[in-house]
Structure formats: C-alpha cells, structure tokens
Amino acid sequence: MYKRQDTKPINVGGVIIGGNNDVVIQSMTNTKTHDIKNTLKQINELVKAGAQLVRVAVFDEKDIEALEDIVKKSPCPIVADIHFNHMFAIKAIEAGVAKIRLNPGNISDEQQLKEIINVAKKHNVAIRIGVNSGSIPLDLVSSHGVSAKAMITAAMITAAKRYVKFFEDNGFTNIILSLKCSDPLLTIETYHLAAKEFKYPLHIGVTESGTLMNGTIKSCAGLAPILVDGIGNTIRISLTGNPVHEITVCKKLLSSLGISSNIVEIISCPTCGRLDFNLEKVVNEIEEYTKDMNFPLKIAILGCVVNGIGEGKEADIGIAGSAKKGIIFEKGNVLKTVPENQLVPELKKLINKYFELYKKSK
C-alpha cells in the first residue's frame, strides 16, 4: 500500500481528509439542488456506491433554502459548491454544510472573504480553495502568460499561495486545496509542485475530463502518477453523466494502485478463440451483483478450463467456463465442476459466503 504524504488533517463532518488517512472518495450531484427529493436520492445512491462526501451546487436562493433539509437527511457530510456570491457561502455554512468549495477566480473581494472566514471559523467548517486552470485570476494570466503549460502551472500555484496566505493571515487553516486542469500531464506537474509547496491536504481530479470512457482514461492517466507518489488526500473523478460512475472509477483506480482494498475486484480474461460461452455477459452480471459490496475480494472469471485455473490462481475465488460445464475454484484449487447454467449461481453463493464472513469479522 502506498503511504500518503503527510499533511495537516482536516475534519469534514467527521470524515478526516489528510494526515496519513486513506484517500477519501467524493462526488458531486447533478440534480437541481432545490429538488430536495431527487438530490437526496442521488446522494444516497452515491453513498451506497462508496462515496464518503458529496458536493452539491449552490446556484440560487432556492438551493440555499434546500440545504438545511439536505444536510439533515443526508447519510454523509455535504459540501457546498459556491461561485461568485459570498453570501451563498455564508448561508450554506449556516445551513450546516461540512465544507464549502470556493474558487479564487470568482470570489476575491477581501472584505467578503473575511466575512466567509469568520462564519466558517464559528461553525468549524472547512474550506476547499479550488483553483482551476480555466479560471486563474486575470492579473496572473497576464503576468505568467497562458500559452506555455509550465506557465499555467506556475500561475495556478501562485493563485493558490495568494489565497492560502490571505486565509492564514486571517487565522484560518481549516483548508483543503485543489488545483485542477483538464490536461492530465499538467495535472501531474501541478500536483507535484503543490505537494511540495503546501502542508494542506490535496483534493485531486482532472476536470472536464469527458464521458465515461474518455474521462476515465484521462483521469487515470493524470491521477495514477501522483497517487503512487503518495499525493492526494481526497479524489473526485469528473465524468459527464451519472455521478455513480465517478465512484466506481475512483474505487477501481485506488484498488488497482493498491491504495484501497475495500472493493470487489473482478479480473476476466481478454477471451480468445477457445471461448465457447458468453463470458462478457457473465462478467457484467457479476460486476452488477457486487457493485455495492465494499469489501476486499478478488474474483477471476475466465473463458476456459485449459488455461483458466492457472491464470486465475491469484484470485480468491473464480470460475472457468465452457459451453457444457465449468469449474468453480477457490485459492487456486478446484472446488467443483458444474453445468454451465450453474456457474453464475454457484459463484454468487461463494461471493455471499465471503461477504458474510467479512461482515462477521467487522
């Protein structure tokens, strides 16, 4: 397991971000926040999938009015996403959110910031300073130029330093930082610099990365190199579409890097000419079956008995199928041979056994 670089730990409604704690998984709703019923429904879906924090957009007074109810009924701490209007930040804190996200690019009035800081201090609420490459303060854009990538990184770090200094000068250190770019290479460079520069936990992500396939590839390309260096204390994978996918991708990324083990990992063979049953359908069915089971288990689903058992021996359990019959195996040993139509039910039984054992051990 890769050790996290030590940072100041920040308490967000009971979830600790930073220190040497595990990477906290978060996402953001895409419902209208004032639609309390559907926002809470999505928050619950995200938490069931494995989210530990959920952010909601605060766009207008109707959203502000909805926050208190959402905070009260949410199964996890709520983060409010604030742009432009400092009064929304203050009202969101007063409504009970555990953290707010501010963008230095669009709230920069010092008096307004001081008012936010005072209320955040009073309510012990954390603030994420979220610098985005697309909204660097104008004076920094002109002084650093934005054509060269290195200059964008420098401008983002300068913007974050300026904001952090202002918060610190006003006695506020309950800070989390993000410096998001849509370019994976820029993301790697910027977060490496940020980790050297700041003692605060880092919220990592590649912004505007795209749809499920493209966004997953871009996010993993940008985030894996920093995660393996111990950088990143909370993560959001930004994808266009259903945010539940963001949690799935977060978990799989962390698991594949050995940073989180609380996930059912399914390995399946790439298939070849020896395959004579619908392996893809079986893999999809087992992925769906296990998607909300947050516990460590490695399952191998392999296309044939010839190579299957050898290829799957690193898994806890698995199946190797064929058109007529297949085998169920556990820790590299064959448990039984069953007809093809019994492979999936038998595998599910075995998964349930492991899940029950895990629950008892907790």
Write out the residues near ligand SF4 by the rule CB under 6 A. 269-272, 274-275, 302-304, 306-308, 311
Convert 43-66 to b/e letters by CB count within 10 Å (16 or more is b). bbbbbebbbbbbbbbbbeeebbeb
* Residue among 107 and 347 whose Cβ is closer to ligand SF4: 347
Minimum Å gap between C-beta 266 and ligand SF4 is 14
* Residue among 118 and 307 whose Cβ is closer to ligand SF4: 307
Largest CA distance in the chain: 74
**Radius of gyration, CA atoms only, the chain:** 23
Give Cα 54 to chain centroid, integer Å.
10
Minimum Å gap between C-beta 123 and ligand SF4 is 56
* Residue among 197 and 287 whose Cβ is closer to ligand SF4: 287
- Spatial distance between the Cα atoms of 325 and 338, rounded to a whole number of angstroms: 6
3-state secondary structure of 116: helix
Q: Give the residue closest to ligand SF4 by C-beta.
A: 303
3-state secondary structure of 279: helix
By DSSP bridging, strand 24-28 and strand 234-235 are: parallel
**At which residue do the structure tokens 């804190």 appear?**
93
Structure tokens at 237: 């994978």
- Spatial distance between the Cα atoms of 331 and 195, rounded to a whole number of angstroms: 40
Minimum Å gap between C-beta 281 and ligand SF4 is 15
**At which residue do the structure tokens 């010092």 appear?**
110
* Residue among 8 and 298 whose Cβ is closer to ligand SF4: 298
Minimum Å gap between C-beta 86 and ligand SF4 is 58
Minimum Å gap between C-beta 305 and ligand SF4 is 8
- CA-closest candidate to residue 308, choices 325, 285, 327: 327
Minimum Å gap between C-beta 289 and ligand SF4 is 21
The 10 Å Cβ neighbour count of residue 136 is 21
State the number of CA atoms in the 13 A half-sphere of 245 facing the CB.
Answer: 14
* Residue among 42 and 268 whose Cβ is closer to ligand SF4: 268
* Residue among 188 and 309 whose Cβ is closer to ligand SF4: 309
Minimum Å gap between C-beta 224 and ligand SF4 is 25
Minimum Å gap between C-beta 313 and ligand SF4 is 12
* Residue among 37 and 324 whose Cβ is closer to ligand SF4: 324
* Residue among 105 and 303 whose Cβ is closer to ligand SF4: 303
Scanning the chain, the segments in alpha helix (DSSP H) are 36-49, 61-73, 86-94, 110-123, 138-144, 149-169, 184-197, 212-227, 244-256, 279-290, 305-311, 343-361
3-state secondary structure of 175: strand
* Residue among 193 and 275 whose Cβ is closer to ligand SF4: 275
Minimum Å gap between C-beta 48 and ligand SF4 is 32
